Amino acid sequence: MAKKSLIEAFEIETKNKPLVKAMSDYEIFEDKALLDQLRTNILQNIIDNNIPDGTLLNEYINAEIDKSLEGYDLTNLERSHIFNLIDNEINGYGPITELLDDKNITEIMVNGPQSIYIEIDGRLVKEEMVSFINNDHILRTIQKIVQPLGRTIDETNPMVDSRLPDGSRVNAIIPPLSLNGPVITIRKFKRNINDIESLLRVGTLTPYMARFLEACVLSKLNVIVCGGTGSGKTTILNILSSFIDSNERIITIEDAAELHLKQEHVVTLETKVSNYQSEGEVTVRDLVINSLRMRPDRIIVGEVRGKEAFDMLQAMNTGHDGSLTTLHANGVYDALNRLETMVLMSGIEIPVKAIREYIEKAIDIVINVERLSDGRRKITSIAEIIGIKNDEIEVKEIFAFNQKGLTDTGEVNGEFILYNYLPKSYHKIKVKGLTDIDDIFAPILKTKN
């Protein structure tokens, strides 16, 4: 019987440094060099010896730990810690496995073997207890993440977007593009923010705003969610998508699939990067065009970034109402300007005035979400496009978050506002027979009567 090799799962070079018999408590390991050396030696033993057929992995790891730690007086906790480190290398994602499991951590940034940062409650903190052995160690971890999805990273393809099984987004970039060595950025999938009630609990929006957005989706208005990096655009898009009727056929299009729709009739499309011969690439634009032939009731594009913007607008203008997408921008007007620029990038010669008219007819609602200085995320604006004035797209805010300052503890102090304005979208919603938002705009309606 052939032996099972772990070389494909994990390879690492031993440093061959002398071991030092000094070890602190299980949680701290003051002698970091010893910890790294133990980890390296045990892994190398496993790689060199291979696992004999029929041997349980746990038993084999324990036996290798016994060999490498012979003569060292370890407590049960210290031994357990070493075992977990090795198990994480084989069955998990190496040193960052426990960071991925920590629900309080929303982002992980690996800048180098000893330079790892995490985001907790919107604030960046350097992680002192976790490290990689060297750059090869980081590269092996990247490969372990991307290979199951058929993606590659090497000198000819030195950057990649991928995802973990839980939906967390992974970006990796290596030399020659990165002068620091391999770099990993992971935006974790938020298990605890998966419905509108979750957003209400953390104060991202108000109940009035939530009910209005639900009505917008149910009445098939076309919605764009905009915001900066890490502002929570995809989270908002996920939750808006949950309002779609289960009887509708939904096509989702993404670079790396992050949307987790609960409806049954969902077709998930994902882009494909070119191979080493620069062949086989399938872009978001290709998928948007193809989705129109798939009889969609809804088209959801994870993020519009370029030429696909024109095709998305075309879909919205040709009967595919209720489409949803996100766009990287710092505010509602910036989002519309970027959308205009992206249409120009498509190579289709259209006057700017015509593009603006196209956008005005296609988009109903623009939602802006921000990560504030205290780390909290807020929907800071819900606006609608109301027409064209002086050749410019005219926008009117319906809801907004008014930031007033900071508290003594550094939290943003502010309040949500409902403007004294009856939206055009209110009438579009009413036409569809939805009445759940009547009470929201009742005071405004009274003043008009």
- pLDDT in the model for residue 217: 96
Q: Residue for token digits 């996100």?
A: 326
Q: Tens digit of pLDDT for each residue in 166-191? A: 878 899 999 999 999 999 999 887 66
Average pLDDT over residues 393-420: 92
AA letter at 59: E
Q: Residue for token digits 């990165």?
A: 178
Q: Compute how many other C-beta atoms are within 10 angstroms of the C-beta atom of residue 102.
A: 12
Query: For the chain, what percent of residues have pLDDT higher than 70?
Result: 84
Identical fold between 100-189 and 196-448: no
What does DSSP say about strands 223-227 and 324-328: parallel, antiparallel, or unpaired? parallel
User: What residue ranges do the domains of the chain occupy?
Assistant: 1-91, 100-189, 196-448
What does DSSP say about strands 115-120 and 105-112: parallel, antiparallel, or unpaired? antiparallel
Read off the pTM: 0.76
Instruction: Classify domain 196-448 at the CATH topology level.
Output: Rossmann fold (3.40.50)
Q: Tens digit of pLDDT for each residue in 297-312? A: 999 999 998 888 988 8
Closest CA to 262 of 245, 276, 277, 275: 245
- For residues 369 and 330, what is the distance between their CA atoms, to the nearest angstrom? 9
Does position 270 have pLDDT exceeding 80, yes or no? yes
AA letter at 272: K
Q: Tens digit of pLDDT for each residue in 334-353? A: 999 999 999 988 877 889 99
CATH 3.30.450.370 for domain 100-189, yes or no, is yes
Q: Tens digit of pLDDT for each residue in 234-253? A: 999 999 999 999 999 999 99
Higher pLDDT among residues 198 and 149, named by residue: 198
- pLDDT in the model for residue 171: 92
Higher pLDDT among residues 393 and 6, named by residue: 393
